[in-house]
């Protein structure tokens, strides 16, 4: 679980002498193969990544894009499939290669590559790279999950969300890449669908006019991902650790719900159901093309199976949720407002019946010490108005789905799920919450602990405390902590305890911010609820 691969070595790693023996994997493509590819620039400009670690392997990802921001969304690639070699080794110099092979990067998937490597040893560090033509990718590091039967002594991981490219630099990822972690969890809003502005916000760049409009087509989404992934700090964090990802709303559009578009004034014809499904399908495909996801997560049009479960020895079961694709439309027209009785309708669902059953059944059967939910929007009840006579709720969060929340928390309690902990993104602020069966009763038992993390950059610089935070803490006694700065959350767990450190940067509107710990909490196994350190 320890590594000495520094960020500098990761970013500067080059390799030579890639042996191209191995089996050819047929690419599902109608295009002809490019026999001797010669690229106008480095085809690996978007970096490399690994994801969804299993005990015997991981997914390896890259996308060939020598001209990443080409207006047509093809990344400077021709309409031909391209042979890509890959290698996995025990050492970063690739003297001890353990797996290697070939695949095709196809135009149908934006020349992205998803190699599902197996045959590796559990709980072990590996290094990987790609080659095509005469070009070799940067070197990435990955770690396989421990054997499900192993009594793991310790795991370390970080989680993050909400990285609006034009509102802030990704310095937090540089600090994350320097940590000693086993994996990273990303909880959504990997990109934002809005236009980036005339000067690309704080990035102070001039981009093609296509970047000034909201994303709607496959080329739009591809280019917005490419723009995001060109960031060196984000690439460093991907190279350093395997990531486990799920989406929230902005990967498609703000506050979408199942097949229902948000009601906004962006000028797009979202009210046409067929048009929105086409937009959603384009967004889903571009998401898959740019993330280290396994084949079961490959979308079929506007449908995708994003919820899934990963095991890390007998220490942790990670239940990755999708709280967008199966939810009921937001009540009372969405937003934050008082007096919305419809939010209590028992027929309303956040996860959908199938996912809700899958989650509760799996958590109830789990033998792991910790059951962890990778969740998008805040589960804890939050009255957002300090006036005791006014109960104002955020209707996109679980507050807009109170019966579904009751089913979730009661189900975790009744099924005896071991030590439930919820990881949450979305709200651009850090919050620690005791999750109770009855939030209106201070004596109600605590069922689980929720750690909500701030954004990487969305919302610009932020502050340690703001008026909204003061309001939340004043009215909601089950909230134990609040901070509105930018950053990520670092977690270290053992069979006895869970430690969470909120890592924040003082600014994101200029680069090179330092990092500090704004708050630390511990949860003891068998005793739900977080205690400050």
Residue 80 pLDDT > 70:
yes
Tally Cβ neighbours within 10 Å of residue 178. Answer: 15
Contact (CB, 8 A) for 320 and 272: no
Distance from C-alpha of 450 to C-alpha of 440, rounded to nearest angstrom = 17
Q: What is the pLDDT of residue 26?
A: 35
Q: What is the pLDDT of residue 257?
A: 97
Q: What is the pLDDT of residue 385?
A: 85
Q: Residue 1: which residues within 8 A CB-CB, separation 6 or more?
A: 123, 143, 154, 155, 156, 180, 182
Residue 477 pLDDT > 90:
yes
Q: What is the pLDDT of residue 16?
A: 27
Mean predicted confidence (pLDDT) in 345-367:
98
Q: What is the pLDDT of residue 264?
A: 72
pLDDT in tens, 252-282: 999 999 999 987 767 788 889 999 999 999 9
What is the 3 state secondary structure string of 181-203? CCEEEECCCCCCCCCCCCCCHHH
The CATH H-level superfamily of 35-145 is Purple acid phosphatase-like, N-terminal (2.60.40.380)
Mean predicted confidence (pLDDT) in 119-146:
97
Mean predicted confidence (pLDDT) in 222-248:
98
Average pLDDT over the chain reads 93
Mean predicted confidence (pLDDT) in 102-114:
97
The H or E element that residue 103 is part of is strand 97-105
Mean predicted confidence (pLDDT) in 179-192:
98
The CATH H-level superfamily of 147-532 is Alkaline phosphatase D (PhoD) (3.60.21.70)
The H or E element that residue 486 is part of is strand 479-493
Nearest by Cα to 450 from 422, 408, 412, 469 = 422
Q: What is the pLDDT of residue 8?
A: 31
Mean predicted confidence (pLDDT) in 435-444:
94
Residue 19 pLDDT > 70:
no
Residue 133 pLDDT > 50:
yes
Q: What is the pLDDT of residue 265?
A: 66
Q: What is the pLDDT of residue 263?
A: 74
Distance from C-alpha of 517 to C-alpha of 415, rounded to nearest angstrom = 35
Mean predicted confidence (pLDDT) in 184-195:
98
Residue 2 pLDDT > 70:
no
Please, which pLDDT band fits residue 475 given cuts at 50, 70 and 90? very high
What is the 3 state secondary structure string of 249-298? CCCCCCCCECCECCCCCCCCCCCCHHHHHHHHHHHHHHHHHCCCCCHHHC
Q: Strand, coil or helix: what is 401?
A: coil
Higher pLDDT, 391 or 105: 105
Q: What is the pLDDT of residue 28?
A: 66
Q: What is the pLDDT of residue 502?
A: 98
Higher pLDDT, 45 or 5: 45
Q: Where are the beta strands (DSSP E) in 23-73?
A: 48-54, 57-63
Going from N- to C-terminal start, the domains of the chain cover 35-145, 147-532
Q: What is the pLDDT of residue 295?
A: 97
Tally Cβ neighbours within 10 Å of residue 294. Answer: 15
Distance from C-alpha of 453 to C-alpha of 491, rounded to nearest angstrom = 11
Report yes or no on whether pTM surpasses 0.85: yes
Half-sphere exposure of 59 (CA within 13 A, CB side): 24
Q: What is the pLDDT of residue 342?
A: 97
Contact (CB, 8 A) for 451 and 499: no
Mean predicted confidence (pLDDT) in 211-222:
97
Distance from C-alpha of 362 to C-alpha of 345, rounded to nearest angstrom = 26
- Bin 11: left if φ > 0, else alpha if -120 < ψ < 50, else beta: alpha
pLDDT in tens, 3-16: 333 333 333 332 32
Angle CA(77)–CA(81)–CA(87) in degrees, nearest 5?
Answer: 100
Distance from C-alpha of 97 to C-alpha of 438, rounded to nearest angstrom = 55
Please, which pLDDT band fits residue 528 given cuts at 50, 70 and 90? very high
């Amino acid at each position: 679980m320890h590594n000495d691969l520094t960020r500098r070595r990761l970013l500067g790693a080059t390799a030579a002498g890639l042996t191209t023996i191995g089996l050819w994997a047929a690419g599902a493509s109608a295009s002809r193969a490019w026999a001797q590819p010669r690229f106008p620039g480095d085809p690996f400009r978007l970096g490399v990544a690994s994801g969804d670690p299993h005990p015997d392997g991981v997914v390896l990802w890259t996308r060939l894009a020598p001209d990443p921001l080409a207006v047509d969304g093809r990344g400077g690639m021709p309409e031909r499939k391209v042979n890509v070699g890959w290698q996995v080794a025990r050492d970063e110099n690739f003297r001890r290669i353990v797996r290697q092979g070939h695949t095709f990067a196809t135009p149908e998937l934006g020349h992205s590559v998803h190699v599902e490597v197996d045959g590796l040893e559990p709980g072990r560090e590996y290094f990987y790279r790609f080659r095509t033509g005469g070009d070799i990718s940067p070197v990435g590091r990955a770690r396989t999950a421990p054997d499900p039967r192993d009594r793991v002594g310790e795991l370390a991981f970080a989680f993050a969300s909400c990285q609006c490219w034009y509102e802030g630099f990704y310095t937090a990822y540089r600090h994350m890449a320097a940590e000693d972690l086993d994996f990273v969890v990303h909880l959504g809003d990997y990109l934002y669908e809005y236009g980036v502005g005339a000067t690309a916000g704080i990035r102070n760049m001039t981009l093609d006019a296509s970047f000034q409009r909201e994303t709607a087509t496959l080329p739009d989404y591809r280019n917005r991902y490419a723009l995001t992934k060109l960031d060196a700090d984000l690439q460093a964090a991907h190279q350093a650790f395997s990531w486990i990802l799920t989406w929230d709303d902005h990967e498609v559009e703000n506050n979408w719900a199942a097949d229902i578009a948000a009601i906004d004034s962006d000028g797009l014809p979202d009210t046409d159901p067929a048009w929105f499904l086409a937009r959603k399908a384009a967004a889903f495909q571009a998401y898959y093309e740019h993330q280290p996801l396994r084949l079961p997560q490959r979308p079929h049009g506007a449908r995708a199976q994003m919820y899934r479960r990963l095991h890390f020895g007998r220490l942790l079961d990670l239940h990755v949720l999708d709280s967008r694709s199966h939810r009921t439309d937001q009540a009372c027209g969405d937003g934050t407002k008082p007096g919305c009785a419809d939010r209590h309708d028992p027929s309303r669902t956040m996860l959908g019946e199938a996912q809700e059953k899958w989650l509760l059944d799996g958590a109830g059967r789990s033998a792991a010490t910790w059951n962890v939910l990778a969740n998008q929007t805040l589960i804890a009840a939050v009255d957002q108005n300090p006036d005791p006579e006014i109960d104002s709720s955020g209707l996109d969060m679980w507050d807009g789905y109170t019966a579904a929340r009751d089913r979730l928390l009661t189900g975790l309690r009744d099924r005896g799920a071991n030590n439930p902990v919820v990881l949450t993104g979305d709200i651009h602020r850090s919050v620690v919450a005791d999750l109770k069966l009855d939030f209106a009763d201070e004596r109600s038992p605590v069922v689980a602990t929720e750690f909500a993390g701030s954004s990487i950059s969305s919302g610009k610089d932020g502050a340690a405390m703001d008026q909204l935070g003061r309001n939340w803490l004043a009215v909601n006694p089950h909230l134990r902590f609040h901070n509105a700065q930018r950053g990520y959350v670092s977690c270290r767990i053992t069979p006895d305890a869970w430690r969470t450190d909120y890592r924040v940067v003082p600014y994101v509107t200029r680069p090179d911010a330092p990092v500090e710990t704004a708050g630390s909490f511990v949860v003891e196994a068998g005793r739900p609820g977080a205690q400050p350190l």
